[in-house]
Structure 1
Amino acid sequence: MSETRIALVTGANKGIGYEIAAGLGARGYTVGIGARDNERREAAVAKLRAAGVDAFGVPLDVTADDSATAAATLIEQRYGHLDALVNNAGITGGMPQEPTRVDVSIIRTVVETNVIGVIRVTNAMLPLLRRSAAPRIVNMSSSVGSLTRQSGAGGVTTTGPVAVAYAPSKSFLNAVTLQYAREFTGTAILINAACPGFVATDLNGFRGVRTPEQGAATAIRLAMLPDGGPTGGFFEDDGEVPW
């Protein structure tokens, strides 16, 4: 087996995904830049290479089965295995999203990307991850995926706007992460959800208070967990996030 550590980050052509790729690359990983926009993907690869990162482009639309399969084939042909998968690609679906007024097609679209897309890509990459000595999967969630924080339970301040598509999609993703962790019991695969905090990206109109580099830190840490590290957890910089 090659000693080169290979990572794939979806939605990595900009924002938090780009910084996750940059951070893993700076730590010695060869990083696949997963993105569906050819021009933006290759621009990100060029920028990372100029910074000394061993990056390569991976055409990937997380909403398409054939695209996920082709991405796995590309990585298999080049490297034969995958050590870390960061499922970062996600959308909000646009606002407002009050449940009494939302178009249900928006909910379908958001879940297709934020949840089903993660399952689709993860399953496509699993044969490659199983060839790694220390496979790691990180699903990028959000504080709004915490039902505790959404409800204000236990005196916790409620977080985020009313968003019947985006927020529940992240709660769904957290639940999916737990189900994978249960299935992976007894294997070397560690899978966790990461909360980046309120990061200034185009996802929120750059209203966030954290930088993309700050938002990438927890995902990078989880992608590099040592053997025996946590699995089936939900983490942010300060520790575990309440479910």
Structure 2
Amino acid sequence: MSYSRVGVVTGANKGIGLAVVRQLALQYPKSPLNTGPFLIYLTARDKAKGESALKELHKDEQLKQAKALVSDGGLSEIRYHTLDITDSTSVEAFAIYLKMNHGDGVDIVINNAGIAMDGFDSNIVKSTLGCNFYKTMEACHAFLPLIKLDGRLVNVASTSGKLNKYSNEIRNRFLASKTEEDVTSIMKDFALAVDAGKENEAGFPSAAYAVSKAGLIASTRALAHAEKEKGNTVLINSCCPGYVNTDMSKGNGTKTPDEGAQTPVMLALRDLKGESGIFWKEETHEEW
């Protein structure tokens, strides 16, 4: 079967990522991007969990009632593919797979994979920045060359990455960042300050997840600017899904995963009128 559109969702075996896959299938038929059959890759690092999530979707009553999936006469097909964004070899292998199987490119990449760890120390900071910032941006660079000129790249960030927790100096450094290297410099300074036990004196919060997401928002903005300067028309945005009831929020969230999926899916499927490099929440611009 040939596909008019191809999408990729990372970290999609549960929570927001799984809901994003589900909502892509539900909302695609009425999207301006609907030009025919839609293939969605549900990716996760654990094969058993990924395949279990795929089975769950094929049994989903709302998907069945909407006749969203090809198996029910609809437009969308969902496939599982292994992807661990913290493993460069895994990212490279999946990029090669996409290039070989979809030579004309993919349309949508939603980077949802991320971690939130309990506690705060140098090791937690290293792991959290590694996944949520460095490896997410590495995935962006691996997949961006494969995205069609009218495609979308969406990074799932968080309002915990807003800049009201920083000293004026650090906040201004974030706002003045023009390149990913500028943002990386801030991340390195944070990690060094944590190593010295002086992150607060240096103007940072004692919060690995929040700083990693601030870095992701800033680097997404810088990447969008750089690609626009090159004439690339891929729309590159970051967003907050809201406080969603998932394992990451330890079940304390106020939104369902389907509600949390709305803004990432909007950025993937709706007419954005060329808007790129913006941080979004509740399907609108969010002050950073």
Instruction: Please confirm whether the aligned pair reaches a TM-score higher than 0.5, indicating the same fold.
Output: yes
**Distance in 2, Cα, partners of 1:235 & 1:65:** 28
Task: Tell me the equivalent position of 1:174.
Answer: 217
**Distance in 1, Cα, partners of 2:279 & 2:53:** 28
Q: SS of the residue aligned with 1:228?
A: coil
Could you say which structure has the larger radius of gyration? 2
1:160-217 deviations in Å (ceiling 9; x for gaps): xx75200000000011101101111132111111111110000011100000000000
Task: Tell me the equivalent position of 1:34.
Answer: 43
**Distance in 2, Cα, partners of 1:44 & 1:30:** 16
Alignment of 1:56-95 (within 5 A): 56-80=79-103, 81-94=105-118
Amino acid at match of 1:128: L
1:17-76 deviations in Å (ceiling 9; x for gaps): 011111112215311111001101111122224442411112111111110011112222
Q: Give unmatched runs, 5+ long, in structure 2.
A: 30-37, 64-68, 70-75, 169-204
TM-score scaled to structure 2, two decimals? 0.73
**Distance in 2, Cα, partners of 1:114 & 1:123:** 14
* Aligned residues: CA RMSD: 2.0
Instruction: Report the number of matched residues.
Output: 225
Q: Give unmatched runs, 5+ long, in structure 1.
A: 97-101, 154-161
**Distance in 2, Cα, partners of 1:37 & 1:58:** 10
1:92-121 deviations in Å (ceiling 9; x for gaps): 122x3xxxxx32011010011101121121
Task: Tell me the equivalent position of 1:18.
Answer: 18
Q: SS of the residue aligned with 1:177?
A: helix
Amino acid at match of 1:12: A
Task: Tell me the equivalent position of 1:116.
Answer: 134
Alignment of 1:117-196 (within 5 A): 117-129=135-147, 132-148=148-164, 150=165, 164-185=207-228, 186-196=231-241
